[in-house]
Amino acid sequence: MKHYKGYLVDLDGTMYKGNQVIEGAAEFIQSLNKNDIPYLFLTNNSSKTQVDVATHLNSMGIETTPDRVFTTSMAAAKYVKSKKADARCYVIGEDGLIDAIEKENMTITDQNCDFVVFGIDRNITYEKYAKACLAIRDGATFISTNSDIAIPTERGLLPGNGALTSVITTSTNQEPIFIGKPESIIMNEAMTVLGTRAQDTIMVGDNYQTDIQAGIRAGIDTLMVFTGVTPFDAYPSLSIKPTQYVHNLKEWIPFIK
């Protein structure tokens, strides 16, 4: 079995479901910690900061630190900065996205914007949409943290960031540059932070359409676990199979060394 020097690990459906830890998840991370193998939790959730995510994981017995978390907001901020270090950004989003943009020392403004950076905003207003559309029509580059059209909650499936983003696309006829899974942008930015090469890195996740497709598009190996979105009975029909699969992450622990 191939030895991997770095792991990118999905959260919802791989580590937990809501506030319920998935069996084997804590032991899997404990094994990575014990063997000093670099890893990052990779999430399309743009609303949370690194501290928020790490605190939630630790509260469930999954021992980790904020620097082990890489969000789509962080990837978006790093991507924008790579295009223009002193970028002026009109930002629609919650704490996680604002925090990420500020940490990259870029200016958040609604005047003379270079970029419109859009993340989920559960307090979205018509005026926010109006400012974003005007900035894009005036030449600002349109960035969206992820294309998820729905997000699972205790209430059921609610509108996701992709659905909210589509309002601007419909109005301006401008498609955004999506950052999060299944796009390769978040994967490449994460590997830069992780410090590993593509051939030495593996993506671990439960959702074939996001986690596994992200790994495939980025040219890295994938480990699929059937504890979340994609059921095992869907495996035979997958057009491109994951590199490896397990029913539970406990099965993979012997290969971590």
Q: Which of 116, 92, 87, 119 is nearest to 104 (CA)?
A: 87
* Torsion angle of the four alpha carbons 16, 10, 244, 238, in this order, in degrees rounded to the nearest 10: 90
Q: What angle do CA 117, 121, 124 make, to 5 degrees?
A: 100
For this structure, is 12 an active site residue? yes
- Write out pLDDT tens, residues 157-196: 789 999 999 999 999 999 999 999 999 999 999 999 999 9
Average pLDDT of the chain? 94
Number of other CB atoms surrounding residue 134 within 10 Å: 16
Q: Which residue has the tokens 């301006």?
A: 172
Q: Which of 120, 116, 133 is nearest to 46 (CA)?
A: 120
Question: In the structure, what pLDDT confidence band is assigned to residue 154 with cuts at 50, 70 and 90?
Answer: low
Q: Which of 236, 193, 192, 198 is nearest to 214 (CA)?
A: 198
What's the CA gap between 118 and 145, in Å, rounded? 6
Comparing 86-100, 116-130, 149-163, the range with the smallest average pLDDT is 149-163
- Write out pLDDT tens, residues 4-58: 999 999 998 899 987 889 999 999 999 999 999 999 999 999 999 999 999 999 9
What's the CA gap between 134 and 9, in Å, rounded? 37
What's the CA gap between 5 and 165, in Å, rounded? 36
What confidence score (pLDDT) does residue 182 get?
96
Confidence (pTM): 0.91
- Write out pLDDT tens, residues 83-95: 999 999 999 999 9
Q: What angle do CA 96, 102, 105 make, to 5 degrees?
A: 150
Is the predicted pLDDT of residue 74 greater than 70, yes or no? yes
Domains and CATH numbers, the chain: 6-44+181-255 (3.40.50.1000), 84-178 (3.40.50.1000)
What's the CA gap between 139 and 172, in Å, rounded? 11
What confidence score (pLDDT) does residue 180 get?
96
Per-residue pLDDT, averaged over 74-101, amounts to 97
What confidence score (pLDDT) does residue 229 get?
85
What's the CA gap between 76 and 89, in Å, rounded? 11
For this structure, is 10 an active site residue? yes
Q: Are 220 and 201 in contact (CB under 8 A)?
A: yes
